Amino acid sequence: MATRNVQRTADGHYVIIRGRRWRATDPLVPEAVKQRLIHHLMSARRAVAAAGDDEDLRRAARGRVKVAKTGLGERGTAWWEQTAAERRQRWNDCLRQLEQTG
Protein backbone atom coordinates (compact mmCIF):
# COMPACT_ATOMS: atom_id res chain seq x y z
CA MET A 1 0.00 0.00 0.00
CA ALA A 2 1.31 3.41 -0.94
CA THR A 3 1.68 5.93 1.84
CA ARG A 4 -0.09 9.22 1.35
CA ASN A 5 1.66 12.53 1.69
CA VAL A 6 -0.64 14.09 4.27
CA GLN A 7 0.12 17.44 5.85
CA ARG A 8 -1.78 19.02 8.73
CA THR A 9 -2.56 22.66 9.22
CA ALA A 10 -0.81 24.25 12.20
CA ASP A 11 -4.00 24.15 14.29
CA GLY A 12 -4.59 20.45 13.44
CA HIS A 13 -8.11 21.12 12.20
CA TYR A 14 -7.42 20.19 8.59
CA VAL A 15 -5.31 17.82 6.52
CA ILE A 16 -3.97 18.67 3.09
CA ILE A 17 -4.04 15.86 0.55
CA ARG A 18 -2.85 16.50 -3.01
CA GLY A 19 -3.19 20.24 -2.44
CA ARG A 20 -6.76 20.03 -1.19
CA ARG A 21 -7.81 20.90 2.36
CA TRP A 22 -10.12 18.49 4.21
CA ARG A 23 -11.40 18.61 7.78
CA ALA A 24 -9.35 16.30 9.99
CA THR A 25 -10.92 13.46 11.94
CA ASP A 26 -11.77 14.41 15.52
CA PRO A 27 -8.74 13.35 17.58
CA LEU A 28 -10.96 12.50 20.58
CA VAL A 29 -12.73 9.66 18.73
CA PRO A 30 -11.51 6.47 20.43
CA GLU A 31 -9.56 4.18 18.08
CA ALA A 32 -12.11 1.33 18.27
CA VAL A 33 -14.99 3.71 17.47
CA LYS A 34 -12.96 5.33 14.70
CA GLN A 35 -12.30 1.95 13.08
CA ARG A 36 -16.00 1.03 13.21
CA LEU A 37 -16.97 4.37 11.65
CA ILE A 38 -14.33 3.93 8.94
CA HIS A 39 -15.64 0.43 8.25
CA HIS A 40 -19.15 1.88 7.74
CA LEU A 41 -17.74 4.73 5.63
CA MET A 42 -15.92 2.39 3.27
CA SER A 43 -18.93 0.09 3.01
CA ALA A 44 -21.14 3.05 2.16
CA ARG A 45 -18.65 4.28 -0.46
CA ARG A 46 -18.69 0.83 -2.08
CA ALA A 47 -22.50 0.96 -2.04
CA VAL A 48 -22.42 4.34 -3.83
CA ALA A 49 -20.26 2.83 -6.56
CA ALA A 50 -22.43 -0.30 -6.80
CA ALA A 51 -25.69 1.69 -7.03
CA GLY A 52 -25.20 2.27 -10.74
CA ASP A 53 -28.17 4.16 -12.15
CA ASP A 54 -30.42 3.45 -9.16
CA GLU A 55 -30.83 6.92 -7.68
CA ASP A 56 -32.64 5.64 -4.55
CA LEU A 57 -29.77 3.26 -3.70
CA ARG A 58 -27.20 5.96 -4.43
CA ARG A 59 -29.03 8.50 -2.24
CA ALA A 60 -29.26 6.02 0.66
CA ALA A 61 -25.58 5.12 0.36
CA ARG A 62 -24.52 8.77 0.22
CA GLY A 63 -26.59 9.37 3.33
CA ARG A 64 -24.62 6.65 5.12
CA VAL A 65 -21.36 8.25 3.92
CA LYS A 66 -22.52 11.55 5.44
CA VAL A 67 -23.43 9.94 8.77
CA ALA A 68 -20.06 8.15 8.99
CA LYS A 69 -18.11 11.30 8.15
CA THR A 70 -20.19 13.28 10.65
CA GLY A 71 -19.39 10.68 13.32
CA LEU A 72 -15.70 11.07 12.53
CA GLY A 73 -16.07 14.85 12.89
CA GLU A 74 -15.34 15.50 9.22
CA ARG A 75 -18.79 16.96 8.54
CA GLY A 76 -21.38 18.84 10.54
CA THR A 77 -20.45 21.17 13.37
CA ALA A 78 -16.68 21.51 13.58
CA TRP A 79 -15.37 19.26 16.36
CA TRP A 80 -13.18 22.01 17.79
CA GLU A 81 -16.35 24.05 18.41
CA GLN A 82 -17.97 21.28 20.47
CA THR A 83 -17.48 20.24 24.08
CA ALA A 84 -16.04 16.80 24.78
CA ALA A 85 -19.54 15.62 25.77
CA GLU A 86 -21.05 16.91 22.51
CA ARG A 87 -18.30 15.18 20.54
CA ARG A 88 -18.94 11.86 22.33
CA GLN A 89 -22.66 12.25 21.73
CA ARG A 90 -22.01 12.92 18.02
CA TRP A 91 -19.89 9.84 17.36
CA ASN A 92 -22.09 7.56 19.48
CA ASP A 93 -25.30 8.77 17.78
CA CYS A 94 -23.80 8.34 14.32
CA LEU A 95 -22.41 4.90 15.09
CA ARG A 96 -25.74 3.78 16.55
CA GLN A 97 -27.56 5.07 13.46
CA LEU A 98 -25.17 3.25 11.09
CA GLU A 99 -25.36 0.00 12.99
CA GLN A 100 -29.18 0.08 13.00
CA THR A 101 -29.38 0.64 9.25
CA GLY A 102 -26.71 -1.86 8.29
**pLDDT tens-digit series, residues 8-54:** 999 999 999 989 999 999 999 999 999 999 999 999 999 999 999 99
pTM of the entire predicted model: 0.90
Quote the distance between the C-alpha of residue 64 and its chain's center.
10
Residue 5: predicted pLDDT? 74
Where are the domains positioned within the chain?
Answer: 27-101
DSSP state letters, 22-57: EEPPPTTS-HHHHHHHHHHHHHHHHHHHHTTT-HHH
C-alpha separations of 55 from 39, 50, 60, 98, 102 in Å: 23, 11, 9, 20, 19
90-93, long-range: CB < 8 A, 24+ apart: 91/26, 91/29, 91/33, 91/37, 92/33
